[in-house]
Amino acid sequence: MLLGISIAAVEAAEQQFQLSLKAGSPENGVQTFKVRQNDRVLVTISTDRKAELHLHGYDVKIAAQPALPGQLDFIAKISGRFPLTIHSHHPANQKGLKLTGGHGAVAYVEVHPK
């Protein structure tokens, strides 16, 4: 009986991931970070150029730069599959001329329901 209780207590885990961006693209391809609902999710994002990242669904925005990796840190309350996109600071993107190119997914966060 006690065993069952202790397993339930550690069910919400802390999940850590690494994402490395080179010229705005994920160095190891577009990965899917799979977690369970209510997990704490930590993604460290290193980059060779300044970038703003946006986790859709949760609507979290974080900044990353070469000297200061981005740290995405949230509790996975909502289940589903959410794209993490990069918002380019390229002038063409700001004018809305290259919207799809400046807003591609660099990773996905998949939150599986309990």
- Contact footprint for Cu ion (CB under 5 A): 54, 85
CB of 114 to Cu ion, least distance (A): 27
Contacts of 7 (CB under 8 A, 6+ apart): none
How far is it, in rounded angstroms, from Cα 95 to Cα 97? 6
CB of 13 to Cu ion, least distance (A): 27
Cβ count near 26 (within 10 Å): 18
CB of 51 to Cu ion, least distance (A): 12
* Residue 51 vs 76, nearer CB to Cu ion: 51
CB of 107 to Cu ion, least distance (A): 13
* Residue 13 vs 71, nearer CB to Cu ion: 71
* Residue 40 vs 54, nearer CB to Cu ion: 54
* Residue 69 vs 104, nearer CB to Cu ion: 104
Least Cα distance to 83 among 52, 100, 105 occurs for 105
Least Cα distance to 45 among 16, 83, 81 occurs for 16
Residue whose beta carbon is closest to Cu ion = 54
**Amino acid residing at 106:** V
